Amino acid sequence: MIDTTDLIACPTCDALWRVAEPKEGERAVCGRCHTVLRAPKEGEATRITALALTVAILLVGTMFLPFLHISVRGFSNDSSIVDAALAFSEGLTTPLVVATVAMVLLIPLSRALLLLYVVAPIALTGRPRRGAATAYRWSEDLKPWSMAEIFILGCAVALVKVTTLATVVFGSAFWLFSILVIITVFQDGFLSRWSIWQTLEQN
């Protein structure tokens, strides 16, 4: 039988490579389809822990602080995302709001918490917690369904649409949310999936 421990298969094109572990800051790329195979970074676990914690806190803030302020002919309204979601439950609005809240808040929050569960113990003690592999798998599966950055652009478009009906101003939660989107982009940039899998395997 062949020893497979130092072999890796490119997840995108199945090309088989013998991997020399790249140094921190370097990348190993598939020679055939150019998918990044390895990209270890210095102090990865600590940095991801910090970022995931920030994301989780900002998300909770975003839920309850006023997101948008609307005013028209004397009527005005401050609404947080939770207010807006709870304000109505009729017809087609309900499934739409549920789906939006899930993709914009709940899935990003679950991802941040799952990542924290995986990475925080590694950063603090060097050893992963039980079930870390499962938690990491879930967080990866959730990634395409986490749509916070798309929501930001949606807010801008909605603002333009509504200006004919009313005056709308962004509230503090909107700005928190924008910061959060930027942090998430950094977090995903720092995240080297394969280093995490290796760490999880070694323990």
Q: Which of 39, 42, 37 is nearest to 16 (CA)?
A: 37
Q: Nearest distance from residue 111's CB to another protein, in Å?
A: 14
Minimum distance of another protein from residue 178's CB (angstroms): 15
Distance CA 146, CA 183 (A): 14
CA dist 83 to 69, 101, 150, Å? 12, 12, 21
Torsion of CA 122, 148, 181, 152, to 10 degrees: 180
Separation CA 104–CA 59 (nearest Å)? 10
**Contact between 43 and another protein (CB under 8 A)?**
no
Q: Does position 11 bind another protein by CB under 8 A?
A: yes
Nearer to another protein, 163 or 179 (CB): 163
Among 58, 168, 173, 176, binds another protein (CB under 8 A): 168
Residue 20 binds another protein, judged by CB under 8 A: no
Question: CA–CA separation, 68 vs 82, rounded Å?
Answer: 12
Does residue 15 touch another protein according to CB under 8 A?
yes
23, with CB counted inside 10 A (0-12, 13-18, 19+), is exposed
Q: Which x/- pattern, by CB under 8 A, does the window 173-202 give for another protein?
A: --------------------xx--x--xx-
The contact set with another protein (CB under 8 A) reads: 1-2, 4, 7-16, 31-33, 37, 68, 70, 72-73, 75-77, 79, 84-85, 87-88, 91-93, 95-97, 99-100, 103-104, 133-134, 136-137, 140, 144, 147, 150-151, 153-158, 160-162, 164-166, 168, 193-194, 197, 200-201
